[in-house]
Structure formats: C-alpha cells, structure tokens
Amino acid sequence: MDDPPLQKIAISGPTLASLIHRFSTSPSSIDGLLFGHVTSVTPLNLSDDSSDDNSPTLLATITGFLTSSSFHDTSGSINTASLRRLIPNSTSLIGWFSGRRRTPLRPSLREFNTTSSLSSLSQFSSTIKPSSNSFNFKNFNPCLFLLLASPISDQTSHIHTHDYRAYQFISGTHSFKPVSLDIINIGPAFRGHYGSFSPNSPFPVLDCQLGHSPMIRDDEDEPLSKMKQAAKDQKELDGCAEEFEVGRLSRLMGSEAKSYTQGLEDMYLRMLLKIENLTSLVEKSSAKVLEQENHNRKLKHKILRSSASE
C-alpha cells in the first residue's frame, strides 16, 4: 500500500536555521537523516455538503536531523545496518535531506534512487497519530526528501542565499511530489501549533490564599510555624517574580491562561534583566579576584627574591 499523501510539512524556525547553518559551513555537499512525526489532521471547515472532502489529512513535522552520508552508497543503495545505528532511541525516521552548492533545485538521479530505496524500508516506518478512527493508514514510511541548494551564480556579496524544497516520494508512480513547507515560529500567529502542548514538569500546586482574614476565630487559626513558612514562601516568590502577585500564578494554570500571557512575558523579561545584572556582577568580581591573585603572586615572587638575596 502506498503512503498516504501529505498536505504539508512543518519545521520549526530554529531547526531549519540549524540545518542551513550546517550546510553553509560545510566545505562540500552534505547528506543526512530527518526525524519527526506524522499526524492526521481533521479539517475544521466541516459542512453538510457531501461534495466537500472532509477526510483527515496528513501533517509531517520535522523535529531534528543528523548529518551523515554513511547510510547509503554512491549509487543510492541503503545500508540498513548503518542506518539502524544512526537512528537514536525514541525517534522516528521520516526521510532524509541533501545539500549541494551551485546546482539546480531539483532532485538528481542519485537522490531519486536513495529516496526510493529509503521509502521502501517498511521496518523503519513511523506510527501515524490518528485524529479519528476513520483514518485507515497506520504507518508512514520514510519517504520525505528535503533538498537544499545555493544559487548557481557566484556570490560576491556578504548576503548568502539558500534555496530549499520539500518532496514526498510516491511509490506507486515512482515520482516526487512537491509539498509545501511551513516554518513554525513563536508568536501570536503560530500559537495554534502549541495548543496541545503539555509540559513534562507541570506547575506544582501553589497555595495562592496566603492572606489571613481577621474574621477567623482564634481556635481556627493556623499554627504559627505554618504561617511563618507561608510568609517565607511568599517572600521567596516575590523575589523570583517581582511585581507579579502569587494570586495571579493560579490564573496561568487554567482556562484563563491565554489572557495572562503578556504578564508572564513581562515577568520573564524582568528575570532576564536580573540574570544579566548578576552576570555583570560575577564578571566584575571574577576580574577583582584575578587581579588580587596576580597581586599576591607578584608579592610572593618579590618576597622570594628578597629571601634569596639575603
């Protein structure tokens, strides 16, 4: 069974920038593997019109890469033993990439053979994350190919241009199908890509009601030690989150979190300023320590010379 067609391919800005940097700093052409995951996405524009195609579509997301040409030979045949050693644990292989200089932006015969051989290896297929039970495909073979190239004309300026294009190899027709490549960046227009994000280390449960009401009776008062600990926690939190009340932290963990994103970003900027000031203080103190060590060393040499002359 042929691989299902991809609607688009997504890659994060830092991953693409790192890949282009690796290509631009290499003295020659480079090859490597692409890792990521494939997800079936159900269209949101549902309607009662039976002519509309509301079947799930596929989105391939590139999350990492590895530069190596040892998984294939010059003719494009895949070395499965070498390929198995190159794939890290808990990662899914979805394709490979090639970067070459001053060449047309179209796949070569060697790249065609390599992609064809790689896409036929079902033992390296990745599991598709389905969005509905009606999706018939379960596995996705590594049939992606990302081509990077520099312009054929000589570059005489300090501005370097790199072109790239993504393809999916269709086994049934033995041909490349161009697929649009979306660059995912951080910002308001791309927050939909992070809607399903769940942190590995969630926020701990915080007691956001640290105030003490005078209406509480004396026999219901908390122990003095617990109140002192709460005041200590409040002071530590105030030091870490200046001008950001503890009560507002509870709103960052619920359904109202989106409306308080700006406040969290402001707090983060203030923390960065604190870190920058601390870094400056550490540099100054290190310089003083080094200066004192040099002074002590010179003084020691002077004393040793004086003792030797006597």
Instruction: Read off the CATH number of the domain in which 36 is found.
Output: 3.40.140.10
For the stretch 67-73, contacts whose Cβ atoms lie closer than 8 Å and that sit 24 or more positions apart, written own/partner, are 67/22, 67/30, 67/31, 67/32, 68/31, 68/32, 68/33, 69/30, 69/31, 69/32, 71/33, 71/96, 72/31, 72/114, 72/117, 72/118
Same domain, residue pair 119 and 260: no
Tell whether the model's pLDDT for residue 40 goes beyond 50: yes
Q: What is the pLDDT of residue 71?
A: 92
Q: Are residues 167 and 56 in the same domain?
A: yes
Give the strand pairing for 144-149 and 163-170: antiparallel
Question: How confident is residue 109, by pLDDT bands cut at 50, 70 and 90?
Answer: very high
Q: Looking at the structure, tell me whether residues 177 and 239 fall in a common domain.
A: no
pLDDT band at 83 (very low <50, low <70, confident <90, very high): very high
* CA atoms of 115 and 76, how far apart (whole Å): 8
Q: Would you place residue 219 in the very low, low, confident or very high pLDDT band (cuts 50, 70, 90)?
A: very low
pLDDT computed for residue 131 by the predictor: 60
Query: Which residue in 123, 5, 14, 116 sits closest to 65, CA to CA?
Result: 14
Nearest C-alpha neighbor of 141 from the set 63, 60, 57 = 60
145 and 228 housed in the same domain: no
Residue 198 lies in a domain: no
**pLDDT score of 184 more than 70:** yes
Asked if pLDDT for residue 135 goes beyond 90, the answer is: no
In a domain, 246, yes or no: yes
Integer Cα distance of 95 and 33 in angstroms: 6
- Asked if the model's pLDDT at residue 299 lies above 50, the reply is yes
Q: How confident is the model at residue 136 (pLDDT cuts 50, 70, 90)?
A: low
Q: Are residues 61 and 175 in the same domain?
A: yes
Indicate whether 221 pLDDT > 90. no
Distances (CA, A) of 131 to 44, 51, 61, 182: 12, 21, 15, 20
Average pLDDT, the chain: 76
Q: Are residues 91 and 31 in the same domain?
A: yes
Residue 236 has pLDDT above 80, yes or no: no
Q: Determine contact, residues 105/165, Cβ cutoff 8 Å.
A: yes
Is the pLDDT assigned to residue 54 strictly greater than 80?
Answer: no
Does residue 57 carry a pLDDT above 80?
no
In a domain, 200, yes or no: no
Report field, pTM of the whole predicted structure over 0.75: no
- Based on the domain organization, do 111 and 220 belong to the same domain? no
Average pLDDT for 246-266: 63
Average pLDDT on 254-265 reads: 64
Alpha-carbon torsion, ordered 70, 72, 78, 84, to 10 deg:
20
Domain end position, chosen among 157, 192, 227? 192
Sign for the CA dihedral angle at 298, 303, 307, 310 comes to positive
Choose between 211 and 180: higher pLDDT: 180
Whole-number Å distance between alpha carbons of 276 and 268: 12
Instruction: Using the predicted structure, report yes or no on whether residue 31 has a pLDDT greater than 70.
Output: yes
Domain co-membership, 33 together with 142: yes
For residues 112 and 259, membership in a common domain is answered with no
Report whether pLDDT(142) > 70.
yes
Q: Is the pLDDT of residue 261 over 90?
A: no
121 with 12, same domain: the answer is yes
Percent of the chain at pLDDT > 90 equals 20
Asked whether residue 180 carries a pLDDT value surpassing 80, the answer given is yes
* Number of Cβ within a 10 Å radius of residue 91: 15
> Given a cut of 80, is residue 105 above it in pLDDT?
yes
User: Based on the domain organization, do 129 and 221 belong to the same domain?
Assistant: no
Residue 205, pLDDT above cutoff 60: no
- Rounded CA separation 168/119 (Å): 10
pLDDT band (50, 70, 90) for residue 94: very high
Instruction: Determine, yes or no, domain membership for 249.
Output: yes
pLDDT at 196 over 50: no
- What is the domain count for the chain? 2
Q: 140 or 57: whose pLDDT is higher?
A: 140
- Lowest mean pLDDT segment, chosen from 48-62, 96-110, 190-204, 263-277: 190-204
Segments forming the whole domain that contains residue 283: 206-310
